[in-house]
Amino acid sequence: MTYIVDRRVNGKNKSAVNRQRFLQRYKKHIKKAVSESISQRSITDIEKGENISIPKKDISEPVIHHGQGGRRSIVHPGNKEFVRGDRIPRQSGGGGSGGEGEASNTGEGEDAFVFQITQDEFLEFLFDDLELPNLVKRQLAGAESFKQVHGGIITEGSPSRINIGRSMRSATARRMALGSASKKRLRQLENELKEMLAKEFVSQDQTRIKELRLEIDKLQRKIKRIPFIDTFDLRYNLKIKQPQPVAKAVMFCIMDVSGSMTQITKDIAKRFFILLYMFLKRNYKKIDVVFIRHHTVAKEVEEEEFFYSRETGGTIVSSALKLMNEIIAERYSPEEWNIYTAQASDGDNWNDDSPVCSKMLTENILPVSQYYAYLEITPRQHQALWHEYTKVQSAHPEEFAMQQLVSAADIFPVFRELFQRTPA
Amino acid sequence: MSKKLISEGSEWTFDLLNEYDHEIGKIAEEYQLDTYPNQIEVISSEQMLDAYSSVGMPVGYHHWSYGKKFVSNADSYQQGRSALAYEIVINSDPCIAYLMEENNMTMQALVIAHACYGHNSFFKGNYLFKTWTDASSIIDYLVFAKNYVSKCEERHGVEAVESLLDSCHALMNYGVDRYKRPSPISAEEERRRQHEREEYMQSQVNELWKTIPEKIDKDEEVQHANFPSEPQENLLYFIEKNAPLLEPWQREIVRIVRKIAQYFYPQRQTQVMNEGWATFWHYTLLNTLYDRGQVSDGFIIEFLKSHTSVVYQPDFDSQYFSGINPYALGFNMMTDIRRICENPTDEDRHWFPDIAGSDWLKTLHFAMQNFKDESFVQQFLSPKLIRDFKFFQVVDDAKDREIVIGNIHDEMGYLGIREALAQQYNLSMNEPNIQVFNVDVNGDRSLTLHHIQHDDRPLGDSTQEVLRHLHCLWQFDVHMETRNNGKLVKRYSCPLESTED
pLDDT tens digits for range A177-190: 888 889 999 999 88
Rounded Cα distance between B307 and B86, Å, is: 12
The pLDDT tens digits for A313-372 are 778 888 888 999 999 889 888 877 888 888 888 888 887 888 888 888 888 888 888 888
- Which is it for the CA torsion B200, B205, B210, B216, positive or negative? positive
Contact yes or no for B256/B92 (Cβ under 8 A): no
Among A238, A257, A290, the domain-final residue is A238
Asked if B232 and B435 count as a contact pair (C-beta separation under 8 A), the reply is yes
CA A219, chain centre distance (Å): 66
Partner A contacted by B225 (CB < 8 A): no
> Domain for residue A227, yes or no?
yes
Name A2's bridge partners.
Answer: B38
Whether A397 is in a domain gets the answer yes
**pLDDT the model gives residue A315:** 82
DSSP A251-319: EEEEEE-STT--HHHHHHHHHHHHHHHHHHHHH-SEEEEEEEEESSSEEEE-HHHHHH----S---HHH
Same domain, yes or no: A298 and A372: yes
Position A74 in a domain: no
Structure confidence at residue B219 as a pLDDT band (50, 70, 90): very low
Best B47, B142, B318, B399 member to test A by mutation, with max A CBs in 10 Å, is B47
CA distances from B208 to A52, B201, B238, B241, B248 (A): 49, 11, 13, 10, 16
Rounded to a whole number, what is the distance in Å from the CA of B84 to chain A's nearest CA?
A: 15
Listed as own residue / partner, the contacts of A209-218 with beta carbons closer than 8 Å and 24 or more positions apart are A215/A189, A216/A186, A216/A189, A216/A190
pLDDT (0 to 100) of residue A99? 39
Start-end of H helices in B396-492: 414-424, 427-430, 463-474
Inter-chain CB proximity A65 and B431 less than 8 Å: yes
Mean pLDDT of B151-165: 93
Does B166 reach chain A within 8 Å, measured CB to CB?
yes
Residue A382 domain-assigned (yes or no): yes
Q: A22 to chain B: which residues are within 8 Å by CB?
A: 64-65, 67-68, 70-71
pLDDT at residue B50, rounded to an integer: 84
Give the mean model confidence (pLDDT) for residues B430-457.
Answer: 89
Cα(A28)–Cα(A91) distance, integer angstroms: 38
Establish how many alpha carbons lie within 13 A of residue A55's alpha carbon, considering only the half-sphere containing its beta carbon: 6
Distance between CA atoms of residues B242 and B395, nearest Å: 41
Confidence of residue B189 (pLDDT cuts 50, 70, 90): low
Q: How confident is the model at residue A92 (pLDDT cuts 50, 70, 90)?
A: low
Long-range contacts, stretch B450-454, CB < 8 angstroms, 24+ apart: B450/B231, B450/B480, B450/B481, B450/B483, B451/B480, B451/B481, B451/B482, B451/B483, B452/B483, B453/A70, B453/B482, B453/B483, B453/B484, B453/B489, B454/B429
Q: At what angle do helices B235-242 and B187-208 cross, to 10 degrees?
A: 70
For B404, the closest of A59, A79, A87 (CB atoms) is A87
Same domain, A172 and A309: no
Nearest-neighbour CA in chain B from A25: distance (Å): 7
Residue in chain A nearest B26 by alpha carbon: A1
Cβ-Cβ contacts under 8 Å for B196 (sequence gap 6 or more):
none
pTM, rounded to two decimals: 0.72
Same domain, A210 and A258: no
Count helices and strands (H / E) in chain A: 13, 13
User: A105 with A391: CB under 8 angstroms?
Assistant: no
In the DSSP assignment, the letter for residue A250 is E
Summarize pLDDT for B263-321 with one digit per residue, the tens. Answer: 889 998 999 999 999 999 999 999 999 999 999 999 999 999 999 999 999 999 888 89
The whole-number pLDDT of residue B195 equals: 72
Beta strands in B121-245 (DSSP E): none
**pLDDT-based confidence at residue B212 (cuts at 50, 70, 90):** low
Q: Which of A18, A60, A121 to mutate to test the interface with B (most CBs of B within 10 A)?
A: A18
Give the pLDDT band (50/70/90) at residue A247.
Answer: low
Distances (CA, A) of A346 to A276, A376, A404: 19, 5, 9
> How high does pLDDT run on average in chain B?
87
Give the number of residues written for chain B.
Answer: 501
Residue A181 lies in a domain: yes
Phi, psi of A17 (to 5 degrees): -65, -45
Q: Which domain holds residue A186?
A: 159-238
B198: pLDDT strictly greater than 80: no
Contact B429, B453 (CB under 8 A): no
pLDDT 10s digits, B344-372: 999 999 999 999 999 999 999 999 999 99
* Contact residues on chain B for A10, CB-CB shorter than 8 A: 47
Residue type, B285: L
Contact A372, A401 (CB under 8 A): yes
> ipTM of this predicted complex?
0.83
pLDDT of residue A137: 45
In this structure, the answer to whether residues A198 and A291 fall within a common structural domain is: no
Do A234 and A252 sit in the same domain of this protein? no
- As a whole-number percent, the residues of chain B with pLDDT over 70 amount to 89
Residue A62 has its nearest CB partner, among B70, B399, B465, at B465
B374 CB-contact burial (10 Å; exposed 0-12 / middle 13-18 / buried 19+): buried
A330 and A381: one domain? yes
pLDDT at A45 over 80: no
- Mean pLDDT value of segment B401-410: 90
What stretches of A78-231 adopt beta strand conformation (E)? 87-89, 112-117, 145-154
Q: In this structure, are A120 and A167 located in the same domain?
A: no
Across A129-148, average pLDDT: 58
Choose from A79, A90, A105, A114 for mutation: most chain B CBs within 10 A: A79
Number of structural domains in chain A: 3
In this prediction, residue B337 carries a pLDDT of 96
Q: Would you say A341 and A365 are in contact if contact means Cβ atoms under 8 Å apart?
A: yes
| Cα(A359)–Cα(A325) distance, integer angstroms | 13
Residue A95 has pLDDT above 50, yes or no: no
Which residues, 6 or more positions from A302, have their beta carbon under 8 angstroms from its beta carbon? A291
Asked if residues B89 and B129 have their Cβ atoms less than 8 Å apart, the reply is no
Measured in angstroms, the CA of B199 and the nearest CA of chain A are apart by 31
Cβ neighbour number for residue B282 with a 10 Å cutoff: 27
List the single residue in B with minimal CA-CA distance to A86: B405
Do residue B460 and residue A82 have CB atoms under 8 angstroms apart? no
Task: Using an 8 Å CB-CB cutoff, list chain B residues near A64.
Answer: 171, 173-174, 431-432, 434, 459-460, 462-463, 466
| pLDDT value at residue B483 | 92
Confidence of residue A102 (pLDDT cuts 50, 70, 90): very low
Q: In terms of domains, do A182 and A288 share one?
A: no
Q: Please tell me which of the candidates B37, B47, B461 has its beta carbon nearest to residue A7.
A: B47
What CA–CA distance (Å, rounded) separates B407 from A26? 48
φ, ψ at A392 (rounded to 5°): -60, -40
Query: Which pLDDT belongs to residue A135?
Result: 54
The ranges assigned to domains in chain B are 14-126, 331-429, 431-494
Confidence band (pLDDT; 50, 70, 90) for A51?
confident
Give, for B265, the enclosing helix (H) or strand (E): helix B248-269
Task: Give the span between the Cα atoms of A387 and A385, in whole angstroms.
Answer: 5
Q: How far is CA A159 from CA A370, B82, B308, B347, in A?
A: 43, 68, 81, 105
Number of DSSP helices (H) and strands (E) in chain B, helices first: 22, 9
Whole-number pLDDT of residue B385: 95
As a whole number of angstroms, the distance between CA B449 and CA B459 comes to 13
Q: What is the Cα–Cα distance from A94 to A336, expressed in whole angstroms?
A: 70
Q: Which of B22, B47, B89, B316 to mutate to test the interface with A (most CBs of A within 10 A)?
A: B316
B487's enclosing H/E stretch is strand B487-494
Mean pLDDT of A132-155: 65
Residue B142 burial class via C-beta count within 10 angstroms: exposed 0-12, middle 13-18, buried 19 and up: buried
Distance to chain B for A123, nearest Cα, Å: 19
- Report pLDDT for A122: 79
Tell me, what's the pLDDT at B290?
94
* Nearest-Cα residue of chain B relative to residue A14: B50
Q: pLDDT at position A103, please?
A: 38
pLDDT of residue A54: 81
Least-confidence region, from A2-16, A95-109, B306-320: A95-109
Task: Say which range, A16-30, A42-56, B354-368, has the weakest mean pLDDT.
Answer: A42-56
d(CA B131, CA B266): 9
Q: Is the pLDDT of residue B141 over 80?
A: yes
What residues are paired with B494 via a beta bridge? B478
User: Cβ separation of A66 and B432 shorter than 8 Å?
Assistant: yes
Q: What was the pLDDT predicted at A78?
A: 92
In a domain, A173, yes or no: yes
Residue A139 pLDDT: 47
Same domain, A361 and A379: yes
Strand extents, DSSP E, B305-430: 392-397, 402-408
The predicted structure's pLDDT at residue B227: 82
**E strand residue ranges, A105-258:** 112-117, 145-154, 236-244, 248-256
Q: Is pLDDT of B333 > 80?
A: yes
**Separation between Cα atoms, residue A1 and residue B186, nearest integer Å:** 23
B403 — contact with chain A (CB < 8 Å)? Answer: yes
Partner residue facing A77 (CB), from B50, B315, B430: B315
Question: Does the structure show a pLDDT above 60 at B182?
Answer: no
If one counts every other C-beta atom within 10 angstroms of the C-beta of residue B488, the result is 10
Residues of A in contact with B43 (CB under 8 A): 7-8
A268, A376: one domain: yes
Torsion angle defined by CA atoms of residues B306, B308, B309 and B313, in that order, rounded to the nearest 10 degrees: 160
Cα gap B224→B215, rounded to integer Å: 16
| pLDDT, tens digit (0-9, with 9 covering 90-100), for A375-413 | 888 888 888 888 888 888 888 887 888 888 887 777 777
Q: Contact B396/A95, CB-based, under 8 Å?
A: yes
Q: Which of A262-271, B212-221, B470-479 has the lowest mean pLDDT?
A: B212-221
CB A132, CB A283: distance < 8 Å: yes
CA distance B48 to chain A (A): 9
Find the helix or strand (DSSP H, E) in which B478 lies. strand B478-484
Same domain? For A214 and A358 the reply is no
pLDDT band of B211, cuts 50, 70, 90:
low
A48 shares its domain with A115: yes
Instruction: Enumerate residues 6+ apart whose C-beta is below 8 A from B359.
Output: B341
Mean pLDDT of all residues in B20-37: 94
What helix, strand, coil percent values describe chain A, rounded to 5? 45, 20, 30
